[in-house]
Amino acid sequence: MRWAGAVLVLAGLAGACGGDSSADEPRDDAVEETSTTAAETTTTAPPETTTTVAATTLPEGATAFRGILFTRDDEGEERYFAGVDITVADADGEVVGRATTDADGAWGIEVGVAGTYTAALDAEDLPDDVQLRREEPLELMVRTDQVKIVLFSLEAA
């Protein structure tokens, strides 16, 4: 089976509503979509408190990242990836949130503060026939009250 391309998609309040997301334009091998699927997320907020939030029920005005991890084959069939760990770290490398994708590949992490972050996907959690196109974490910027769209590009292993 050949893969047409795969992406992780984050449905963002600003991005989905025409907000400016030019700081992190999607790569041209990615597909951007919006989802209403819920995922459980765990966010670590200073000082060392943990909050669990459904990806589609992030608080109004949240500063966050969220998305759906899936691929499409040549026939356009979608394959969602559950149980994949996503980690977001701040500019100092401190982990500020972790999430695990649900059965529909959905996840979300509230970071609370605008700034530059890195998002990483644990490639060991992907099926053996799928891999990340780029191993390095994605560097992302998020503004206050923005839910940022993030794309992880996947390919057949």
Residue-wise pLDDT tens digits, 72-106: 888 989 999 999 999 999 999 999 999 999 999 99
Measured distance between the N- and C-terminal CA atoms of the chain, rounded to whole angstroms:
11
Q: What is the CATH number of the domain that holds 60?
A: 2.60.40.10
Residue 90: give the domain boundaries.
3-156
Q: How many CB atoms lie within 10 A of CB 120?
A: 17
Average pLDDT over the chain, rounded to an integer: 73
Global pTM reads: 0.65
